Structure 1
């Protein structure tokens, strides 16, 4: 059975914009204005264009579509893209409304499946790795994730 190994953590600062209700739900966008990645094998910061698009459904969950670029401390660029699912608890809604208290990991269902890719050989291992993330939301707003690598069982 595969198992999860901690790989890196990161936070991203967001500047939210409401797009409004549409045919698929209420859409919001959060431009990534800064953030840091911390791990033994992957360290860096968010650069360039990046955003977190959130589609709020009538079921009380938000569907994520996130795209960003990480610049590592040694100058490589790693593209990250992920879908995810966020339970819109009262605490999450309070933060999205401009206030609130930080949530903890596990206070809500907030799970992502990041896909990383790069052409830099020093980080080519990310191209053949499956990741799973768990998140929490901070006032600001900002998000913070713990990202795990799916490792072979045995």
Structure 2
């Protein structure tokens, strides 16, 4: 069977999220859960720039090996006044040593762990309607009080 060339990636923007301390729910029927409030942030790119509206949440599931499964919802506001809902699911994992350093709020080189998400955007904006019709991926970095992501459009 014929296979197709892998789609390329085009840089969309970098985003930085300032976060609060996690609220630990403990082990629920879903798993070991915590909620991390997104306080604010900003995003910068060639086509899209703005701020993160305070109040989004990162609902994480902590696996026994230290892996974190993310489910995030945040609201973006572009500098030209448009609102965009950004949701993403992601995975952050690595060796036990690396995950322990991250959990202890130490700075860890981004190449030492796997941190990938799949953002989705939803907007009523005519100008940014193209965001509703694309697939995106990102690579993340965890610092003591922030999440940083570089977001890419797939195949564009």
Scaled by the length of structure 2, the TM-score of the pair is 0.88
CA distance in structure 1 between the partners assigned to 2:100 and 2:30 by the alignment: 19
5 Å-filtered alignment, 1:68-79, equals 68-79=74-85
Who is 1:87 aligned against? Answer: 93
How many correspondences in the alignment? 149
Question: Which stretches in structure 1 are left out of the alignment for 5+ residues?
Answer: none
Query: Are 1:114 and 2:119 counterparts?
Result: yes
CA RMSD of aligned residues (A): 1.6
* 2:62 is aligned with 1:53: no
Which runs of 5 or more structure 2 residues have no equivalent in the other structure?
none
Runs (4+) off by over 6 Å: none
Give deviations 1:90-128, integer Å, cap 9, x for gaps: 34433434x312x33332111100000100111111011
- Which is worse superposed, 72-81 or 87-96? 87-96
Paired with 1:49 and 1:14, the residues of 2 have a C-alpha distance of 10
Q: How does 1:94-133 map to 2 (within 5 A)?
A: 94-97=101-104, 99-101=105-107, 103-133=108-138
* Offset at residue 48 of structure 1 (A): 4.2
| Alignment equivalent of 2:147, drawn from 136, 143, 149 | 143
